[in-house]
Amino acid sequence: MSVEKPSGSLAPVDWQQRKWSRADAKHLLWRTQFGASAEQIARTHTDGSAKSLERLFSLQPESTAFVAADELLRRAAMDTDSPASLKAWWLHRLFHSANPLPEKMALFWHNHFATSIAKVRSASAMAAQNDLCRREALGSFRRLLHGMTQDGAMLVWLDGNANRRRHANENFAREIMELFALGEGHYSEKDIKEAARAFTGWHVREGQFWFNRDQHDFGIKTVFGKMGDFDGSAVVDLCLAQKACPRFLATKLLRAFVLPQPAEAIVAAVAARVRAHDFAMGEVLRELLASELFHSDEARGALIKSPIELALGALRALEGQPNLRAVHAVTTLLGQDIFQPPTVKGWEGGRLWITSASLLQRANFAATLTGSNQLGAINAPEISARKTDTTPAQIVAHYTDLLLARPPAPETRQRLESYAAASTGETAERIRGLLHLIMAMPEFQLM
């Protein structure tokens, strides 16, 4: 299938015309993985945009150590059926996988199809759903949506078994339209009632999808003005054919990867790309990440980090080895407990991550990370090895460049420099204090 190239602000940046900078490399990495170390930024800067995107979008071999740890953690989660172990398993992948973008997109889909282990109560069912999110992470939303409607965990989550012939339960049909495919306002109450009939008998048995023929309503239904003896699959296809569907996905993708409040025209343009690529979301994302829009000044530092982006990102930037249980605890405190989203709407993100309480906790996270090894040892040798004759200004410049999406305001820089100059004790301790300050700043919450 040939697809026309995107144009306007979605057109790719011409790197012959514009210089690929370190800041561009850092921007790309923070948006496509969880934070970036100085070394990764340097390599991505050297590689340039095209090569870096190729690396992000092609499957990289995992190390033997990673594979061994991954298998061990997963088996522990399965054998103990423990939510905490399951969460540790995924956090390990999110941080250590050689394929960070598929993991990040799997998290994006987990949020989109927000399902909670609190109700599903099965580590294996949650892991199976997670595998589906990962398999289609950069794949087809069409397959993903079809897969989700027959996913064991999802059917438990949305009361599939309660949906029976003559006793239709609307929960499943409603959420498919409102939260998974179309968004509120793009369907009628009648559509929901009729679609619920199409999903009757879509049950779950021993953790697996099971078509309970006796409980399926084979009658004629009317959905979006179309009549037929629809079943669940047919309703999914009808949803995918709606105009609202690509728009809904475009908005979510833009908010997660580019801008918090994309203009109407941008949403429409990205929606057109979703349709042009027939829901091949990896293709759409790849175009987005190469676009003028993504590399515009407006998009730089425009997103508020999620708790996982904040915690794992800080650990990555400071070359720490995360303590998975402790990282899980802190991200939960900050409002993002993976495998356990608060509602079927998932984490709405953006400003909704931030309350005065969570902002205090974000600052306290910086204090814990720099003041102890509780969350994982950050690279203190690297810090203390820095030449003692380095000036406070150089140290501040180094770490603000590493940690902040945009250069700090001059007054902020001066305050940090005078703190660094006046602090006392071992160099490593003084730098840890400075890192605490930088990461407690409102600026560090942005990427």
Partner 1 sequence: MKTDTVRLALSSRRTFLGGMGAAGVLALGALPPLFLARAAEQNKTNRDGKILVLLQLAGGNDGLNTVIPHANAEYYRQRPSLAVGKGAVLKLNDELGLHPQLAGIKSLHDDGMLSIIQGVGYPNPNRSHFRSMDIWHSARPDEEITRDGWMGRAMDAASEQLAGRVPALALGTDRLPLALVANRVTVPTVKSLKDYQLSEGKGNAKDQQRRRKLIAELAQTPAKGTSDLDFLRRTAVTAIQTADKIAATTANYKPAKPYPQTGLGQRLQTLTQLITADIGPQVYFVSLDGFDTHSDQAGAHNALLGELGGAVQAFFADLKAHGLAERVLLATFSEFGRRVKENGSLGTDHGAASQIFLVSAGLKATIHGKHPDMHDLDEGDLKHHTDFRQVYATLLEQWLGWPSQPALLGKFAQLKLS
Whether 403 and 366 have beta carbons less than 8 Å apart is answered as no
List the one residue from 355, 381, 385, 391 that touches partner 1 (CB under 8 A): 355
Q: DSSP string of 271-309?
A: HHHHHHTTTBHHHHHHHHHHBTTTTSGGGTT-SBPPHHH
Of residues 95 and 172, the one with the C-beta less far from partner 1: 172
Q: Provide the residue type at 142 as one letter.
A: R
Tokens standing for 333?
A: 């405190």
Shortest Å, Cβ 358 to partner 1: 8
Taking CB under 8 A as the rule, does residue 184 contact partner 1? yes
Tell me the sheet residues that pair with 223.
226
Phi and psi, residue 222, nearest 5°:
-120, 115
Residue of 122, 331, 370, 400 interacting with partner 1 (CB under 8 A): 370
Does 390 sit near partner 1 (CB under 8 A)?
no
Nearest to 209 by CA among 147, 265, 268, 165: 147
> Restricting to residues 5-24, which ones interact with partner 1 according to CB under 8 A?
none
Q: Kindly state the tokens that stand for 169.
A: 């339960």
Q: Which of 55, 143, 275, 406 binds partner 1 (CB under 8 A)?
A: 406
DSSP conformation letters of 151-172: -HHHHHHTTGGG-BTTB---HH
Our finding on whether 392 is near partner 1 (CB under 8 A) is no
46 binds partner 1 (CB under 8 A): no
Nearer to partner 1, 101 or 338 (CB): 338
SS3 244: helix
Q: Shortest gap between Cβ of 422 and partner 1 (angstroms)? A: 7
Site for partner 1 in 114-143 (CB under 8 A): none
DSSP state of 343: S
Distance between CA atoms of residues 198 and 212, nearest Å: 12
x/- string (CB under 8 A) for partner 1, residues 67-106? ----------------------------------------
Binding mask 309-338 for partner 1 (x = CB under 8 A): ------------------------x-x---
> Least distance (Å) from partner 1 to the CB of residue 263?
7
Nearer to partner 1, 123 or 168 (CB): 168
In degrees rounded to 5, what are phi and psi of residue 342? Answer: -65, -40
3-state secondary structure of 366: helix
Question: What phi, psi does 280 have (nearest 5°)?
Answer: -80, 90
Site track for partner 1 across 261-300, x = CB under 8 A: x-x-------------------------------------
| Dihedral over Cα of 397, 293, 39, 312: its sign | positive
- Return residues touching partner 1 (CB under 8 A): 159, 162, 164, 166-171, 174, 178, 184-185, 189, 260-261, 263, 301-302, 304, 333, 335, 342-343, 345, 350-352, 354-361, 363-364, 366-368, 370-372, 406, 408-409, 411-412, 415-416, 419, 422-425, 429-430, 432-433, 436-437, 440-443, 445-446
